[in-house]
Amino acid sequence: QPAVDPKIFSRFGNGKIKNIICSLSGKGGVGKSSVATQLALSISAQGKRVGLLDLDLTGPSQVRMCGLEGAKILQSSQGWLPAYVDASQRLAVMSVAMLLKGKNDSVVWRGPKKNAMIKQFLGDVRWGELDYLIVDTPPGTSDEHISLMEYLRPFSPCAILVTTPQAVSLADNLRSLDFCSKVGLPVVGLIENMSGYVCPHCAECTNVWGKGGGQALAEREGIRFLGRIPIDPGLVRVLDDAKDEAVALAKGASAGEQGAVKKVE
């Protein structure tokens, strides 16, 4: 067992972050990030303190999905300050997108640099005490997942798998499941996303990509089936629209919190 990094221990140790849930999917575009956002929003709406860490370094989407476009990471004497979704400060978001100059800038990094960034996110972000940390990971099983597990294993993270009912997504999820068992990451359960489309006019449900494949996979692999989410055009609108007020609020709340804060370049 490698020694626990002292900086990471100072953020996560002694029960500071009670539950860590990683959102995983074998394939991109199946709704892993959307599920992470919705999970974070719904848990924080229940009065819990939640952090949402976007580790999809090359395709970060949490800043946009949480209406925080334009927010930057602020540095305080106690570390990097996350952006808050609203004034209640119950949902804190941290993403590499908050380090980039332009919203269309790309991250072109090899494994070691990604590893260093993840270590920094885990050791430097001042989340404070959290009931839940939701970690949005890249699709598949890559450098990011290996680094994440290396650093967070002592703090008992768990995973939620997201799939669409399509065979190709289901097959890729078997790989994610295999990864979880290899690295000892317990799987809380599986969500079948984009499961049917309910016509807003006639209410008929069309199973665009089939239905029930996620549930069958969960049953076969002995993991919990957490439910299915239909294709919902309303969800796309909510997730794609940046909310200007939320941005202003997040900036104001973070900047006002500390005396001397400066933008991280």
Q: How far is the CB of 21 from ligand ADP (least distance, A)?
A: 15
Closest alpha carbon to 215 in 176, 185, 173, 179: 173
Among 74, 200, 57, 65, which residue's Cα sits nearest to residue 138?
57
Angle between helices 143-152 and 167-183 (to 10 degrees): 40
Residue from 24, 41, 96, 194 that binds ligand ADP (CB under 6 A)?
A: 194
Which of 74, 231, 246, 253: binder of ligand ADP (CB under 6 A)?
Answer: 231
List the one residue from 12, 17, 26, 33 that touches ligand ADP (CB under 6 A): 33
Query: Under the criterion CB under 6 A, does residue 69 sit at the interface with ligand ADP?
Result: no
32 interacts with ligand ADP by CB under 6 A:
yes
Site for ligand ADP in 236-255 (CB under 6 A): 236, 239
Residue 32 annotated as part of some ligand binding site: yes
91 interacts with ligand ADP by CB under 6 A: no
Q: Parallel, antiparallel, or unpaired for β 83-84 and 91-95?
A: antiparallel
Measured from the CB atom, the residue of 123 and 138 that comes closer to ligand ADP is 138
CB nearer ligand ADP, residue 9 or residue 197: 197
Token pair of 253, please? 């709340």
33 is in an annotated binding site: yes
Contact region for ligand ADP (CB under 6 A) — 22-30, 85-93, 105-113, 213-221?
22-30
Task: Collect all residues with Cβ–Cβ distance below 8 Å to 168 and sequence separation of at least 6.
Answer: 27
Q: Does 62 bind ligand ADP (CB under 6 A)?
A: no
Q: Which is nearer to ligand ADP, 103 or 263 (CB)?
A: 103
Say if CB 137 and CB 145 are below 8 A apart: yes
Q: Are strands 262-263 and 74-76 parallel, antiparallel or unpaired?
A: antiparallel
Known binding residues for [4Fe-4S] cluster are 199, 202
* Binding site residues, ligand ADP, CB under 6 A: 25, 28-34, 61, 139, 193-194, 229, 231-232, 235-236, 239
Known binding residues are 26-33, 199, 202
